[in-house]
Structure 1
Amino acid sequence: MDKENPEAFYKRLHEQLEESAKWPSNYLYKFIVESKPEKVSQIHKIFDNTGAVIDLKESKNGKYTSVSITVNMKNPDAVIEKYKEVGQVEGVISL
């Protein structure tokens, strides 16, 4: 994500999502976070009660965890809202 201009990033993402899928649609989120239980738990809580399928994979040295989340989203705005929520987790990297 463009740290200097997040609104431009989200506007471009919104346009790409509008063009690339029919909504509602399944969406795959991918994040990298430190392998600390509280960090992974924060991401889990953001997707609670959404029917999300969450897959975790630790890095070889165990320092980081890859979090893949597949969830049915109603529209591009809902997708972006979740990115913004996860962005509040300290140290998370959105892919």
Structure 2
Amino acid sequence: MDQDKNTIEFYERLKKQLEEDTTWPSPYLFKFIVPANLEKIAEIRAIFDATDAEINTRDSAKGTYTSVSIKVTMQSPDEVVKKYLEVSSVEGVISL
């Protein structure tokens, strides 16, 4: 996975902030926006398959995009960053 410098710095800051602010394991809320495409949503669901994830979706007003909220217990900041990186491989996804 080829990452630019800004992306690497972002995830390093996120990891540090999570280490300082959270006791692990802890529930974590991931939020993504994807084009309204069942295959893309299924790809994201598959990434969280082996977890206790509670996944909610909501279509945009025009139906062009779908927001995906995933509440899941994460074991560490490293695991959070790993999931963000896995989801970033889904074409068209925006992480919030």
How many percent of aligned residue pairs carry the same amino acid? Answer: 55
Which amino acid in the other structure matches residue 77 of structure 2?
P
Counterpart for residue 58 of structure 2: 57
Q: What do residues 3-49 of structure 1 show as CA deviations (whole Å, max 9, x unaligned)?
A: 65211111100011011110000000000000101000000000002
Q: What do residues 47-91 of structure 1 show as CA deviations (whole Å, max 9, x unaligned)?
A: 002010000000001010000000000000000000000000001
Unaligned 5+ runs, structure 1: none
Which amino acid in the other structure matches residue 39 of structure 1?
K
Which amino acid in the other structure matches residue 58 of structure 1?
D
Unaligned 5+ runs, structure 2: none
Counterpart for residue 44 of structure 1: 45
Once superposed, which parts of structure 1, at least 4 consecutive aligned residues long, lie more than 6 Å away? none
TM-score by length of 1: 0.95
1:1-95 correspondence to structure 2 within 5 Å: 4-95=5-96
TM-score by length of 2: 0.94
Q: CA–CA distance in 1 between the matches of 2:81 and 2:70?
A: 14
